[in-house]
Amino acid sequence: MLIAKEFTFDAAHKLNDYDGLCANLHGHTYKLQVVVKGKVKKSGMVIDFADLKAVVSRKVLLKLDHSYLNETIQQPTAENIAIWIWKQLKKEIPLSEIKLWETPSSFVSYFGI
């Protein structure tokens, strides 16, 4: 079974060695979807949504929200941010997928590959 929870965070970044507008300092309100997979436990849940929220808040949101992403991720493209998030969470929850929207119409999907 798959369980998902969505989050938002605001952050600034610029892309290095990039020839385009994103080479300039700018910000986004990112939308993050964390998808967890597992079997339904005795509790009737795969994972408690409150527990999922606590892990994502501690491992990701507290570090990225209202931050300058270049200080944490060398080239903070949506792709690299999704990979970074996966690495932060993979030891604590059984991830299936990370989706990260940089704008309302543009997102990446990462499966840990």
Residue 13 backbone phi and psi in degrees, to 5: -165, 170
- Catalytic member of 6, 71, 92, 102: 102
Question: In what order do the strands lie in the sheet containing 67-68?
Answer: 67-68, 2-13, 26-37, 95-103, 106-110
Q: 79 an active-site residue?
A: no
Question: Cα dist. 53→2, 36, 73, 109 in Å?
Answer: 15, 12, 22, 19
Q: Taking a C-beta distance cutoff of 8 angstroms, is the pair 34, 58 a contact?
A: no
Q: 22 an active-site residue?
A: yes
- Catalytic member of 6, 26, 66, 79: 66
Q: 97 an active-site residue?
A: no
Q: Taking a C-beta distance cutoff of 8 angstroms, is the pair 82, 100 a contact?
A: yes
Active-site annotation, residues: 22, 66, 102
